[in-house]
Structures are given as structure tokens and as C-alpha cells.
Amino acid sequence: MEEHVSLVVNRTSIGDAELRRAAMSPLGDGQVRLRIDHVAITANTITYAQFGDLLGYWGFFPADEPWGLVPAIGSATVEQSHVPGVDEGTRLHGWYPMATTVDIVAAATATGLRDDGPHRAGHAPVYRAFSASDRDPLATDPADDERHSLLRGLYATGHLIESFLDHRWPGVTQSVVMSASSKTAIGYAFAARRTRTTTGVGPRLVGVTSEGNRAFVDGLDLYDDVITYAEVPGLEHVPTVIVDMAGAGAAVAAAHRALGDLIVHSMIVGKSHHDAPPAAVAGGPQPELFFAPSEVERQIAEAGAGAYTQRLAAGLAAFIDHSRGWLEVERRTGPDAFADAWRQVHAGAVPPSVGVIASMT
């Protein structure tokens, strides 16, 4: 009989991950069984684990403490369904545990299905939704499935950051992007370039990265300037927004010290440098967390849901195409390779030119 394999992560020490094997149990009433084809593992997945308690990520797929199942973005197929309106064979994009399969209490929706498990009630609708590839307005060519899993959520964040900043601070001169080699940052830079090309206006994009990733970021040709973290104190003294995917407290503090009130907005997006200690910020406004759902609401209220989705879909398709020039998809197959992938991404040992796609089988 087939066994269920999952990768659990120690909530108190997220670099520690262990494989678990168990017998499969029969599917319950009102449930669907999803066979997980693959998931993407990026710094974003590590951040879910790091902020699992604070932001509720450990609650997506409950496990016995101190172990947890980290949600990861990917693709699955409905293998068995006890839910009317959910057909076996349907392919779905969404958040999955790092495992062979997952059984969820589901309800059919117009665009796929929704996880209706009682433990999911407190989670944002976007995290409970699985989009069926035959009805998904953001679907791209099935041949690009892995790039889609790697880039969709990260690009959408970059795209929304761009529109948020463009709306609130249209004339700002400079945008300083920390962890410029991350896919989310590249998504933002790509969206900002597109707007600048269309409208003729937009900030100068300054990418801040580690010395080892500088050549990669330069080669993207998306940022106007590329500097290292150590060079932050030399930033040009002009009205600036900070877009921080790194969470490297010292770098943000250095930017604030250097530019003070010239900073019009300082945005916290991520913590790819998950080990970096926080630092107090003096000078300019205090950094604020970016909350993507509010920006989605604003755009839908302003332009309508159709226009919002159409613009995002066009941007995502163009970004996936663009990624062929800088992102190589690397497949890790089998439980051990999956576990190694987690450890390597956690350790920052995967170069920015590589996108890791993992599957248990």
C-alpha cells in the first residue's frame, strides 16, 4: 500500500526538517485528496516558517508540535473527490504542505475550490483558494507550470508594490530595493520598468544586494544602479522610497541615517536575510509593513475586478517570459532531495539564478 510522505520543519529551529512516513487513510466525507505535483521553495517559503506563529502559517496544515507543515506554492491534481462539483483530474494552483498528498475539507467555487476546514476560518481568502487551471484567469501556458508556481505569488507582490507606490508617491525620484536579487524584488523592478516605459515617468531603481549576487543583479538590466549593502550610506540624496525584501535591519537603518527625511516611505516586504538582527531606525518615517490585500481592494474599487485581473495576468505572463533570460528551474525529486532543497534554500545556498521546484515523487 502507498505511504504518505511529508517533510516537517521544527518550528523552533526552522533549518531542521525531517521526513515523516505514514500509512494512507481512507478519504473522509466532504473531502478531496490532492496529489501534490510540485511546490516551489524560495526564501518566501522560509519566511512562512519563520513567521508561522505570528502570521498563522502553521495553521494551514496542522501537525504535532514542535513540528509543522510549511505551506508552499505549487500545483496539484484532484486524485479523489467526495465533494460535489470537484472533479477528479482537475489541476489546481495554490498552497500545499510539503508532502505527497493532502486531504482537505473542500467546497467547490467558480474558480476551483476552497479549503473549508474549520482550522482555516481565520485565514485570508486568497490562502484558502485553489485555482483550477481550466478556469484560472491568471493561468499561463501549461508548459510553464513550474515557472508559474515559482513566480506567480512573488510577481503579484512586486506588481502590487509598484502600483501602491506609484499611486501614493508618483513623483518620487529614487526607489531603493533591498535583496534586489530576490524574485519578488525582480518582479517589482520589472513592473516598475514597464510602467516607466509606458508613462515615461517613474523612480530611478537602485538594487541593493550581496557582493556575491551583484553580477547577477547587474545582468538583469532592470535596475538603474546596483550597489551592495555596504554601499548604502553613499545613496544619492533625493526623495526616496525604500522597498525592503531583505529584513536586514542594519541596511535599512543605514539608509535612514543617510537620507533621513528625504525618505517618503519605507516599506517592509520580507526577510530573506532571516538571520539578520533587527535594528532601530532613526531619521525619516518608521518602516511599515506592506499589506497586499489593501492594494488589491484599492485597484478593484478604482478600475474594477476585470481590469485588475487583466493587468495582473498580462504582467505575470510577460514576467514569466522575461524570466527565461535569468532563471533556471531546478527540479528536486524524491523525499531526500526535497528535504535537501529545504535545507539549502534556508541556508541561502541556492543562487538567485536558480528556482527550486520540489516534488516527493
CB of residue 87 vs ligand NAP: minimum separation in angstroms?
Answer: 31
Nearer to ligand NAP, 265 or 273 (CB): 273
Quick one: which segment of 6-14, 37-45, 60-68, 77-85 binds ligand NAP (CB under 6 A)? Answer: 37-45
- Secondary structure (DSSP) of 265-276: EEEE---SSTTP
Stated as kind and residue range, the H or E segment containing 219 is: helix 214-220
- CB-based contact 181:216 (threshold 8 Å): yes
Binding ligand NAP (rule: CB under 6 A), the pick from 67, 290, 308, 326 is 290
* Residue sitting closest to ligand NAP (CB): 270
Q: Which of residues 148-177 bind ligand NAP (CB under 6 A)?
A: 154, 157
Backbone angles phi, psi at 264, to 5 degrees: -90, -25
Q: Which of residues 200-239 bind ligand NAP (CB under 6 A)?
A: 209-210, 213
292 binds ligand NAP (CB under 6 A): yes
Nearer to ligand NAP, 43 or 360 (CB): 43
CB of residue 157 vs ligand NAP: minimum separation in angstroms?
Answer: 4
Binding ligand NAP (rule: CB under 6 A), the pick from 47, 149, 163, 359 is 47
Binding ligand NAP (rule: CB under 6 A), the pick from 270, 284, 287, 335 is 270
Nearer to ligand NAP, 86 or 154 (CB): 154
Q: At what angle do helices 335-347 and 43-50 cross, to 10 degrees?
A: 80
245 binds ligand NAP (CB under 6 A): yes
- CB-based contact 149:38 (threshold 8 Å): yes
184 binds ligand NAP (CB under 6 A): yes
CB of residue 209 vs ligand NAP: minimum separation in angstroms?
Answer: 3
Nearer to ligand NAP, 107 or 318 (CB): 318
Q: b/e for 136-166, b at 16 or more Cβ within 10 A?
A: bebbbeeebbbbbbbbbbbbbbbbbbbbbbb
296 binds ligand NAP (CB under 6 A): no
CA–CA dist 327, 89 (Å, integer): 30
- Secondary structure (DSSP) of 149-216: HHHHHHHHHHHHHHHHHHHH-TT-SEEEEESTTSHHHHHHHHHHHHHHHHHS--PEEEEEE-GGGHHH
Quick one: which segment of 4-12, 18-26, 39-47, 258-266 binds ligand NAP (CB under 6 A)? Answer: 39-47
Q: From residue 224, how far is each of 4, 210, 227, 232, 239 by CA, in Å?
A: 49, 17, 10, 15, 16
Site string for ligand NAP, 67-106 (x = CB under 6 A): ----------------------------------------
Q: b/e for 267-288, b at 16 or more Cβ within 10 A?
A: bbbbbbbbebeeeebeebeebe
Give the footprint of ligand NAP on this chain (CB under 6 A): 42-44, 47, 154, 157, 179-184, 209-210, 213, 245-246, 269-274, 290, 292, 347-348, 352
